[in-house]
A and B are shown apart, each in its own frame.
Chain A
Amino acid sequence: QVQLVQSGAEVKKPGASVKVSCKASGYTFTGYYMHWVRQAPGQGLEWMGWINPNSGGTNYAQKFQGRVTMTRDTSISTAYMELSRLRSDDTAVYYCARVAEVVVVTSPFDYWGQGTLVTVSS
């Protein structure tokens, strides 16, 4: 069965960076685009960007360009999202989410990780 298992909660100081991992299993990792979505406490869902696990190609939401880097390690079927220059308003649960259709980026998200809480506090 498809599973996306994310790394554990993080506490960071303002200005630091955080790297969240998302380990995929139960399907061909390189066949499906992976997206990252975040949710601040009590707020809605905010799309951050995607990575093509096959090519490593990425596309980031304009809001995060220059601060976010999405990478992957195909040998261990794991995607990563690194966010730099953290601020207090980056405190959120960060989710990885797989698209539903193989080799298609324009597709809804059918499997989600369990979420990783990142707290930014001095």
Chain B
Amino acid sequence: DIQMTQSPSTLSASVGDRVTITCRASQSISSWLAWYQQKPGKAPKLLIYKASSLESGVPSRFSGSGSGTEFTLTISSLQPDDFATYYCQQYNSFGGFTFGPGTKVDIK
């Protein structure tokens, strides 16, 4: 199975900050990577798919990049609604759809 890692595990930031989260795959997944946002007590929400495509309705301050084994999610200017936990997910493998361990973005 493909393993996913994320860094950092926790990130403290202020409103207006530029935030970057990194996700790495244990083997190449081409661009078959998604990013989700999850708030406490809620289901995850799809933000980015195919590594860099913005899901409909998601603010343009969110962007994704990367391919192969290294990917990043960037929030260009952090807003109060963005404090949440972010997960990457690979969906390359027909057998598995592994999630990263998550990155919690909290208020500095």
Interface residues of A (CB under 8 A from B): 35, 37, 44-47, 50, 59, 61-62, 95, 97, 100, 105-110, 112-115
Contacts and interface: CB of A to CB of B under 8 A. Distances in A.
B46 A44 contact: no
Nearest to A109: B46
B51 to A, nearest CB: 11
Given A47-B97, A61-B96, A62-B1, A107 B43 contact: no
A25 B67 CA distance: 35
Contacts of A107: 49, 91
A35 B97 contact: yes
B25 to A, nearest CB: 14
A108 B55 CA distance: 10
15 contacts: A44-B99, A44-B100, A45-B99, A45-B102, A46-B99, A47-B99, A50-B97, A95-B43, A97-B44, A100-B46, A105-B94, A106-B92, A109-B36, A109-B46, A112-B45
B34 interface: yes
B46 A110 contact: yes
A84 B100 CA distance: 26
Nearest to B47: A108
Contacts of B45: 112
B49 A100 contact: yes
A59 B32 contact: no
B6 to A, nearest CB: 9
Given A45-B99, A47-B99, A108 B89 contact: yes
B95 interface: yes
A108 B43 contact: no
Contact of B91 (A45, A106, A112): A106
A112 B94 contact: no
Contacts of B91: 106-108
Interface string B40-66: 000111100100000100000000000
